[in-house]
Structure 1
């Protein structure tokens, strides 16, 4: 996921400034089932620090052990983990372990991609067979330019290629600054989402009040910049003010977020929509039908923290086109 790459890039860069070597382990192929799918990464550093996981815990120790060779010899290698004969994962996991070095130019391009919320992709070259090979390695395409994780890397057509496309960082716009916004903001940040809290200009709270928030803004309804709200954005109206929710709804009428939710019961949602139509009878049917209200999935949530879980679960189900059911009732594999 994009936010995981962002975190790893920051950690690698910081380690480099301290003279600490890093090795990146990437799941490049899978036969059968596993806790995570190809594309998940784990970072092993020469100072003993480990960042990220590639399974539920059954693979990491072996990856860490084999990464010591790569740290010492500076040569990429492939390893496999066959979970069919162990308790835990029930598939064969193919993992590329490679030295990683990020140049200043590459770090700058990563920052641009993350700040602009642009899409990018990576390619990893490997073989199914275990062993070392100086031709193994990964590269990223950032803003149309190719960047490799080691200086002398050239692509070999004799190797398999795992390609991964990364979407822009997902973001959540929270309209309102009450106690439940605090809980939802923190929970969304834990998912790696970029969170913007939009509060009234007379709001006494500040950015410090919202753990994990990226931006805290207090525009008027007329000066609200909606240009950054795109199809990788979720929107939640939760001001606890009927009039404010109506005005924000009108201000957002021409946006096309991936998810648009309103906090509160059905009757309140209908009143908000009716009042909005009174002000603007030209509101599109498509926009109104995309609104989720009451926001969330029925899990019996009561506290602000539980309501946050309910709302985030619905957002995830919508953006991933899933129908929420208990996994024991789901047909096929978990990740199908």
Structure 2
């Protein structure tokens, strides 16, 4: 959810430049079940426009309405929303609504943490009551121990008689796409809608640029012989789609020096055995773990035919791997979805 917070911060800066106040609404506790879980946020500006969502769309109007008092008196509050009779979700949401004023120092720290792919801790102080007022608010702690609050009236050192919801925001999930053809562009677009950080590697002789891959963080020309991967062991997936078996093999050999959790290779099923056999020719001591992390052909078997559908199947497979879930239809599920 790091990308959601980034979107909120970007909009808050724009609103502040326009002279508009902001408040931040955070789901800090849940009793029962709901569409989304604690830690989700939405930004509301003084003109009652909003960014982000804390549900499927049913709760937001109520939160905007009840946030008006925070704009009027700058006093944070906690509200509840009982979805058992409105959403059919059988849950009660506890939402912290607090003034949201961000400083340039915070923006610099946040940008630096994102560029370094560091985790961010957010602690939200609240109470499990409806329409409750008190010493409520959120404190953000960065890896360098710098701490920030969004209101001068909030004293986070004083924790008496309050609950604290703690959230560790991981850096944005990273997708490395190796390839520069039409289908790579489609995969980039689909992954970008999820807020992933996308880096594209094309052939050195390829003339592709950043503008050719909407949503990408970077586009570079490189080769398997010269490329050096960094920080790909965690929170990263790699999809190889060169449409060249030789280039695909070279990249997989290069990746054997690392331990990424997902390596997808586009291609026909009959290439898999050949790829694995030739891998051992180049890297005889390959581990079973590395081989288990290679998914070829990349994607789930959902009948995908177009480049867009194939992109969806690949993204779905990546999610199933990193979330450690075996794909099946939710209609066969009994119990909670997000277990």
Which interval holds the TM-score relative to the shorter structure? over 0.9
Name the structure 2 match of 1:48.
48
Are residues 228 and 217 of structure 1, via their aligned partners in 2, closer, same or farther at CA, if it must alter by over 3 Å? farther
Name the structure 1 match of 2:194.
191
Deviation at 1:132, TM superposition (A): 4.2
Distance 1:215 1:126 in 2: 40
> Does residue 145 of structure 1 match 2:146?
yes
Q: 1:160 aligns with which of 154, 159, 163?
A: 163
Name the structure 2 match of 1:203.
206
Q: 2:313 aligns with which of 310, 314, 323?
A: 310
Distance 1:149 1:159 in 2: 18
TM-score, structure 2 as length reference: 0.95
Helix, strand or coil for the counterpart of 1:79? Answer: strand
Question: Structure 1 stretches of 5 or more lacking a match?
Answer: none
Contact 1:77 1:97 in 2 (8 A): yes
Q: 2:327 aligns with which of 324, 328, 333?
A: 324
Contact 1:42 1:54 in 2 (8 A): yes
Distance 1:234 1:280 in 2: 21
Structure 1 range deviating more: 300-309 or 11-20 = 11-20
Distance 2:317 2:283 in 1: 28
Distance 1:292 1:331 in 2: 29
Deviation at 1:78, TM superposition (A): 1.0
Distance 2:147 2:207 in 1: 47
Deviation at 1:196, TM superposition (A): 0.6
CA deviation profile, 1:168-213 (whole Å, cap 9, x unmatched): 2110000111111111000101100000110001113222111111
Deviation at 1:331, TM superposition (A): 2.6
> Does residue 177 of structure 1 match 2:180?
yes
Name the structure 2 match of 1:78.
78
Distance 1:111 1:78 in 2: 29
Distance 1:193 1:151 in 2: 33
Distance 2:217 2:263 in 1: 20
Q: 1:246 aligns with which of 218, 237, 249?
A: 249
Let me know the Cα RMSD of the aligned residues.
1.4
> Does residue 232 of structure 1 match 2:271?
no
Contact 1:32 1:92 in 2 (8 A): yes
> Does residue 33 of structure 1 match 2:33?
yes
Contact 2:29 2:93 in 1 (8 A): yes
CA deviation profile, 1:275-330 (whole Å, cap 9, x unmatched): 23222323333212221111111111100111111111111111111111111111
Distance 1:258 1:280 in 2: 18
Query: 1:258-273 maps to which residues of 2 (within 5 A)?
Result: 258-273=261-276
Contact 1:236 1:262 in 2 (8 A): yes
Name the structure 2 match of 1:118.
118
Name the structure 2 match of 1:106.
106
Helix, strand or coil for the counterpart of 2:66? Answer: helix
Deviation at 1:87, TM superposition (A): 4.2
Name the structure 2 match of 1:58.
58
Distance 1:8 1:288 in 2: 40
Are residues 283 and 183 of structure 1, via their aligned partners in 2, closer, same or farther at CA, if it must alter by over 3 Å? same
> Does residue 69 of structure 1 match 2:72?
no
Distance 1:148 1:2 in 2: 17
Distance 1:317 1:294 in 2: 15
Deviation at 1:145, TM superposition (A): 1.9
Distance 1:10 1:53 in 2: 15
Contact 1:13 1:107 in 2 (8 A): no
Contact 2:263 2:293 in 1 (8 A): yes
CA deviation profile, 1:93-113 (whole Å, cap 9, x unmatched): 111111011111111110011
Contact 1:181 1:238 in 2 (8 A): yes
